[in-house]
Amino acid sequence: MILASAVLLGVAAAITLAAWYLTYDLGIGFRQAVLYLPFKLAYRVRDSAMRQAREVDAAVIYVISHQSRIEPALMLSLLPEQTLHILDEASARSHWLEPWRELGRTIAFNAEHVFVSRRLVRVLRGKGRLAVYIPDTVEPDVKSFRLFRAIARIAMQADAKIVPIFVSGTRYLPFSLTPAEQAPRSLFPGLAIAALAPMTVAELLQRAGYDNTTTANALFDRFAEARLAGTDLNRGIFYSMVDAAERFGASRVIIEDVVAGPLSYRRLMTGVRVLGKRFEQMSIPGEAVGVLLPNSNAMVLSLLGLISAARVAAMVNYTAGPANVASAMKTAAIKTVISSRAFVQKADLAEVVAAIEQAGTRVVWLEDINQSISTTEKLSAALQWHRPLQPQDAAKPAVVLFTSGSEGTPKAVVLSHRNIVANAMQAEARISISCTDKLLNVLPAFHSFGLTGGTLLPLLTGIRLFLYPSPLHYKLIPDIARKARPTIMFGTDTFLAAYARTAEDGDFSSLRFVVAGAEPVRQETRRVWRERFSAEIVEGYGLTEAAPVVSVNSASHNRDGTVGRLLPGMRMRLEPVDGVSDGGSLSLLGPNLMMGYMSADRPGVLQPLDGWHDTGDIISVDREGFITIKGRAKRFAKIAGEMVSLGAVEIVVQALWPEQHHAAVAVPDKRRGERIVLVTTAPDADAETLRLYSKQTGVAELMVPHDIVKVRELPVLGSGKTDYVTARRMAIDQLGLAAA
């Protein structure tokens, strides 16, 4: 009896001491600390952001992501006691929540409280505080989005500050509000609270970077930033992969290709450790090692093996030709390239390999490595699959990619672990995806879209990934889709149009949506996929330097003809361009922006990005924040002193001959400086028909190409983009301008 009493007294003393510590550390009341303590201990809550949130001067609205039944209990424990919490009906009636409801003021949510907002405005004007719980959805429906409008209106009327709060990890709790099939349950996941700095609606509008954005969109974007802030970007690629394996199950099948078949997280990471050990022996930490492999399990194993060993994976664009590949070896100071004899033979890359070796770079064959791996190595790796071979630093380089070269010589872009993980999580914060999805990726990993979006994003988020080695197999890919049954697919307009021509109507019927980038999506392509496959094409915009996604359309924010809205965590700035009245040159800032370039004149030396990155793209932005690409600065022709967008010319031509492919290029002109030439696959294209159509639609005469070059196919890069360098060369050759 005495012993039991002593134990109870000891426990009570420990609870009291812990509660007093929380009172001091977080600035909360003692009762709050006592009721918060079980959450703190059970879920190891990282809560340092809450002290700043508590100290915000009233009037303030805390906007909280409602992912599970415990957010109200957490916030009642951590927010100032005078905060008025607007609870959902279940939380307002729940018996277990009763002790926490006593910690603050609460009312049950109904339409009166939000849409007839005078009472709430009066609360805020009296230096009050509100806590509003927003349903956890990255693509809110019309009803849910009305909450953002209402909150923004209340905040404006009361001149209140807004503090978004996101508790990462709660959607995986047993009492999560997300269906179990989309969020595997865990009894004691670690939780982390992200609370952003307070901002008024006026400040949110000002920081948007464009005019006339709506208050609801400004709040929605800020709220999405809180979701992104809930991700620990310092974990890096390897540890983020381990986190995903532990969250979704190490035995979960996560990746598959057409040769090696499926792999679970555990088998994948075991292979990563085995290969990484060998890569350690042939390179030094921080060294760039080339990866010349197609979309396959072997490519992913090699990529992650290099990352585990703290090497930098330089993804070699084997479609760029021997000269460009040899140049890439020198630019990134690549001493070793990992490849496969079977792949080199099948893809007829003997000349590329010869160019690599002539550049002084050694080629290491995976077949040789595989034959030398012992059973002991495999067993050892299986026991340590969740451990990297070398210390991981998210701020250091992870990958080197080479720009597409669609308009000139490719450049080496250096991306850190943080850049890549940030971009994957930015996309997750904008588009609704879950572990119930399956992604078919045909885009090569040497292209940033295929690497981050098509390879690493699914591995980090539990989406099952099916890799196909080449996007050019137009007849085979529809058959693969019919058998694999993906729900998401990535592609470019050129590839998607080609697949549609060879596919049967049911081949892509499993798709929820298709994400398209790299080039504009034609209305004809969009129409065909909607009508034949009931699949929506979600168009986005990106660049290698941004790892790569910059903006994307979504279910809640979608506008045909645009590339969507800026991803959370990014800022944009428009600079005026001579001759362009309704747009400007785009510069970007964000956590996904590259570390910098490497150049041929300083091989292997990182030239850091200093702040904002000038994309070289000319864009316009509407009042909802939707971005329209008008063209690249290099893709404007200067005709008689006027700037003409070649991209705009292509849009006009596309409307006239929608089923064909077109490229507008600028060539020298003695009289007017430059003139526009149309390179097209339209067999019946003629200048007079184009001139008459342009006149009827009000297109300026300067925009009308007077020369037309007909080709069977437009030249295309391995990434799916139009190869404008080659198209321009074809135009010059056929028009006899080379000699001139």
Distance CA 462, CA 281 (A): 31
Distances from the Cα of 539 to the Cα of 13, 493, 562, 563, angstroms? 59, 10, 7, 5
- Spacing of C-alpha 499 from chain mean position: 24
The answer to whether residues 685 and 708 touch, using CB atoms and an 8 Å cutoff, is yes
Residue written as tokens 């690249």? Answer: 632
Residue 359 contacts by C-beta under 8 Å, 6 or more apart in sequence?
326, 329, 330
The answer to whether residues 635 and 665 touch, using CB atoms and an 8 Å cutoff, is no
Distances from the Cα of 517 to the Cα of 129, 223, 400, angstroms? 43, 25, 20
Residue 478 contacts by C-beta under 8 Å, 6 or more apart in sequence?
499, 502, 503, 504, 507, 508
Q: Which residues pair with 537 in a beta bridge?
A: 514
Closest to 332 (Cα-Cα) out of 353, 355, 315: 315
Cα dihedral across residues 320, 321, 323, 326: positive or negative:
positive
Q: Which residues pair with 353 in a beta bridge?
A: none
Distance CA 688, CA 15 (A): 86
Distance CA 178, CA 35 (A): 25
Q: 435 — phi, psi (to 5°)?
A: -70, -5
- DSSP label at 411? -
Q: What share of the chain is helix, strand, coil (3-state, %, to 5)?
A: 40, 25, 35
Distance CA 213, CA 571 (A): 14
> In the numeric block, which tokens belong to residue 40?
């703190």
Distance CA 738, CA 734 (A): 9
Cα dihedral across residues 444, 445, 449, 450: positive or negative:
positive
In degrees, to the nearest 5, what angle opens at C-alpha 409 toward C-alphas 404 and 414?
A: 60
Q: Which residues pair with 162 in a beta bridge?
A: 61, 199
Distance CA 221, CA 468 (A): 34
Q: Which of 66, 85, 386, 661 is catalytic?
A: 66
Q: Catalytic annotation on 557?
A: no
Q: 525 — phi, psi (to 5°)?
A: -65, -45
> In the numeric block, which tokens belong to residue 672?
């007017």
Active site residues: 66
